[in-house]
Structure 1
């Protein structure tokens, strides 16, 4: 990782220190480690609602779900604005629409696109678990799509997209699949933009998981723990899941889904390189029996039926080389293309997980600025 300024690497070490502190608090029985870690994150990063000459920012709620709304100005000659629903990342358990990293990203989108951005403050683990996060974002988005609400914010109903990063990209992908199957939902979403999304929990040994298993920000062990937390599962399963014992050949429930994330056919040779699939003959069938949510397409959009994928709108997927989730995005792009969806795959060789929100001092990575600019440019050209 090469920071664009002087403070990027220090921020990585600061983040690791926060993680260790929260784990210690959990070990001492003082609080759940995710509550402790999120308290630290929000304390250091929370930013109050504000307004500028170009963007009006308001905290409100949509059907009981808290949101932060960023209202850009109208373009000259236009009577309506574009709209974007944004869902922040954080392993379904961390961060907030109100911390400065996401505040700055959404404000930039609203200003540069002259758009209305709705950033959803969905409930987090351990307050709620899957699928409650999906219910929150669906409620807030459906509220926003009401004609009277779109009229209030002067949003064009034909130019609305959904987006999110990491776990937020997971939720955006799940929401997109849910909405295209709802014949009564109007207006329809014009596009989806997924930023290094997490899309499956069946194979933790894709080439990117093997290559980046110990990469800072999101090592494999941490990602598997996020999945277990999302489902309120047993931490005793983590090590077995890391070696794919939950989807071994003797686990019948997973058999039908393996082809949908067979990376030997979904990824190009430039990605698969020398890596070998990890498919144990025998494993631990109890994991899927106790956590059946692992095989639910609402949690793992990559394993959705082809009939669902072919209904999805134009899609943007941003992936980073130094990220365990790289191949989730690459495989989803391939499956969507095979289903006839118009897909833009935007890969950054020097990118790492979470880089897009690191764009200002002391977290000023040059790749953060470039990923953000590329994301906004695509939205401007397609929304």
Structure 2
């Protein structure tokens, strides 16, 4: 299976958190293969006989992931929510500083943290290009949002789903201004249509899909270009009627949760990990 399973014993039963980590990677395969890997692994695990083999309570299953894994966790939950034939569904989703959109690379957090170590903006853009098997020559056009300019008709229907001026609190918006080009390059979307594919960018999902999502935990860090992806997704889910916990850390950075073992046992990693596990313990 292309995912990890964290199991929590309670008496004779276990609850399970599927944490996406071992899906196939770029450059061997590109989108949408990682999405298919995660969906296949999840549907396999959710079969009653497989759950019984692992002594998992089918009513207490969470899907989780961090960063790119958070992207897949959100995308898989959306896919499962539309599967009418699925008998067993996840109770929760838990997204750790997830990457959720390639529509706007000038949200306040992208502007504020554009040169932040671990994940500067240009690296995140290159990761998207790698994921879609695109051309690095497009990086600058993506950086200035040429791919979602007002004259790019394919992007118009998604603009309201990612309006950070209404989805972010004022403490995050600060004095940053939206970067919306009047004229852009529609050929970018023609070359890489996956930029607007909801399976790659769960934040672009419609409200009908969001209404079907399970109880959700979203962890975000202030010093992270992806901060606003998570905050906006939490707000859109909340607006759709989903119970959401937004767990924001003012003094933490992208990827910090992995730094929990000496000699990199950073307080940022320990506090985010403990908060995440506490939420799972209380809700799963």
The structural deviation recorded for 1:149 is 1.1
Long gaps (5+) in structure 1 = 1-64, 89-120
Instruction: Classify the secondary structure of the residue corresponding to 2:94.
Output: strand
Q: Equivalents in 2 of 1:364, 1:247: separation in Å?
A: 41
SS at match of 1:232: coil
Partner of 2:128: 227
Cα distance, 1:253–1:69 mapped onto 2, change above 3 Å: closer
Which of residues 239, 243, 252 in structure 2 aligns to 1:338?
Answer: 239
> 1:83 matched to which residue of 2?
16
Aligned-pair CA distance for 1:71:
5.1
CA RMSD of aligned residues (A): 1.1
In 1, Cα distance between equivalents of 2:153 and 2:256? 38
Q: Distance in 2 between matches of 1:288 and 1:185?
A: 33
Contact residue 3 and residue 19 of structure 2 kept, 8 A? no
Q: What residue in structure 1 maps to residue 176 of structure 2?
A: 275
1:186-201 alignment runs, 5 A limit: 186-201=87-102
Give, in whole Å, the separation in 2 of the partners of 1:67 and 1:337: 28
> Residue 162 of structure 1 aligns with which residue?
63
- Which of 105, 116, 120 aligns to 1:204? It is 105
CA distance in 2, matches of 1:269, 1:68: 37
Partner Cα distance (1:198, 1:332) in 2: 10
Q: Compute the displacement of 1:81 (Å).
A: 0.6
Between structure 1 and structure 2, the one with the greater Rg is: 1
2:149 is the alignment partner of 1:248: yes
CA offset digits 1:167-188 (Å, max 9, x no partner)? 0000000000000000111211
Q: 1:169 to 1:281 in 2, by over 3 A?
A: same
CA distance in 1, matches of 2:278, 2:93: 14
Q: Structure 2: how far apart are the matches of 1:265 and 1:151?
A: 45
Q: Deviation of residue 68 (structure 1)?
A: 4.9
User: Which residue number corresponds to residue 290 of structure 1?
Assistant: 191
Change (3 A) 1:273 1:154: same
For 1:1-383, what aligned pairs fall within 5 Å after superposition? 65-69=1-5, 74-75=9-10, 78-88=11-21, 121-383=22-284
**CA distances 1:142-164 after superposition (whole Å, capped 9, x unpaired):** 11111111111110000001000
Equivalent-residue separation in structure 1 for 2:122 and 2:2 (angstroms): 31
Q: Which residue of 2 aligns with 1:96?
A: none
SS of alignment partner, residue 117 of structure 2:
coil
Cα 1:153–1:228 change in 2 (3 A) is same
TM-score, normalization: structure 1? 0.73
- Partner Cα separation in structure 2 for residue 66 and residue 233 of structure 1: 24
Partner SS for 2:235: helix
SS in 1 for 2:150: coil
Give the TM-score, by structure 2 length: 0.98
Deviation for aligned residue 1:79: 2.1
Q: Secondary structure at the match of 1:362?
A: coil
Gap change, CA 1:71 and 1:312, over 3 Å in 2:
closer
Could you say what secondary structure the match of 2:147 adopts? helix
4+ residue runs over 4 A deviation: 66-72
1:22 maps to none
TM-fit CA distance, 1:129: 0.8
| Shift, 1:137, TM fit | 1.1
For these two proteins, the number of residue pairs brought into alignment is: 284
For 2:98, what is the secondary structure of its paired residue?
coil
